[in-house]
Chain A
Amino acid sequence: NAGVTQTPKFQVLKTGQSMTLQCAQDMNHNSMYWYRQDPGMGLRLIYYSASEGTTDKGEVPNGYNVSRLNKREFSLRLESAAPSQTSVYFCASSEEGGNTIYFGEGSWLTVV
């Protein structure tokens, strides 16, 4: 029972490099989310996908793009990484209009 799976778990990037964080869920959920977590800031929503085929900006979307590849998968792309994007990234999913959101274990990203 995997739930929400994120890859990679750890990544170090140089400024200006690009990368994609992958996320997959096996709970047949319609809605998926990407959050970032920074010390003292709690979790902030980057983008979400209410259902397959739709994506919307959250609180902190600048510097990121997302793709809802299919119902299971929701990827987050950094086109040109900046040190300010050093953070822990969490993917999550819920039923549509979901009352409970389930989180992956996080991806630690460092941009140097």
Chain B
Amino acid sequence: AQSVTQPDIHITVSEGASLELRCNYSYGATPYLFWYVQSPGQGLQLLLKYFSGDTLVQGIKGFEAEFKRSQSSFNLRKPSVHWSDAAEYFCAGRYSGAGSYQLTFGKGTKLSVIP
């Protein structure tokens, strides 16, 4: 069965430091992959998505993610974290085949930022 795993439940970084959030997927074929961010009490906002092509994907708010087929990973990165980046981050994936609708989420990584 398809799955998305986020190994880190909680990460704390200092403001200005670099950030990498891990995501691993398990699908029979290359899935579509997404990163969402959720601020407290809010819905989910799409940061970026990977469908095919260039394996380095740029998103909003200065985030990027790299798809690595050999490692079944889609890690989210940011060179310099801002205090406003404190939130919960969700990796998600779904089959790229026609008629596929189910998006599978990881359990999330909560990011805390030290001023």
Contacts A4-B43, A43-B92, A48-B102 supplied; 13 other A-B pairs, CB < 8 Å: A31-B101, A33-B101, A40-B9, A41-B107, A42-B90, A43-B44, A50-B99, A58-B102, A59-B102, A90-B44, A97-B100, A103-B44, A106-B42
Do the beta carbons of A97 and B42 come within 8 Å of each other? no
Contact flags (1/0) for A27-59 with B, using CB distance below 8 Å? 000010100000011111100101000001011
Question: What's the tally of chain B residues with a CB closer than 8 Å to chain A?
Answer: 24
In the assembled complex, the CB of B11 is this many whole angstroms from the nearest CB of chain A, namely 15
- Expressed in whole angstroms, the Cα–Cα distance for A48 and B101 within the complex equals 8
- Expressed in whole angstroms, the Cα–Cα distance for A40 and B100 within the complex equals 25
Chain A residues with CB under 8 A of B49: 99-100
Q: Does A73 contact B (CB under 8 A)?
A: no
Chain B residues with CB under 8 A of A101: 34, 46, 103
Instruction: Identify the 3 closest CB pairs spanning chains A and B, nearest first.
Output: A42-B105, A42-B107, A105-B43
A41 nearest CB neighbor, chain B only = B107
Interface residue ranges of B26-68 to A (CB < 8 Å): 32, 34, 36, 41-46, 49, 51
14 pairs from A and B in contact (CB 8 Å cutoff): A4-B43, A33-B103, A42-B90, A42-B105, A42-B106, A42-B107, A44-B105, A45-B102, A50-B101, A58-B102, A94-B101, A101-B34, A101-B103, A103-B44
Contact flags (1/0) for B86-115 with A, using CB distance below 8 Å? 000010100000111111011110000000
Chain B residues with CB under 8 A of A33: 101, 103
Interface bin, chain A: 20 to 34
B103 nearest CB neighbor, chain A only = A101
Do the beta carbons of A97 and B98 come within 8 Å of each other? yes
In the assembled complex, the CB of A109 is this many whole angstroms from the nearest CB of chain B, namely 14
Contact flags (1/0) for A75-95 with B, using CB distance below 8 Å? 000000000000000100010
Q: Name the contact of B101 in the complex, choosing from A44, A59, A97 (C-beta under 8 A).
A: A97
Q: Does A64 contact B (CB under 8 A)?
A: no
- Expressed in whole angstroms, the Cα–Cα distance for A105 and B36 within the complex equals 13
Q: A90-B43, A103-B44 are in contact. Are A40 and B101 (CB under 8 A)?
A: no
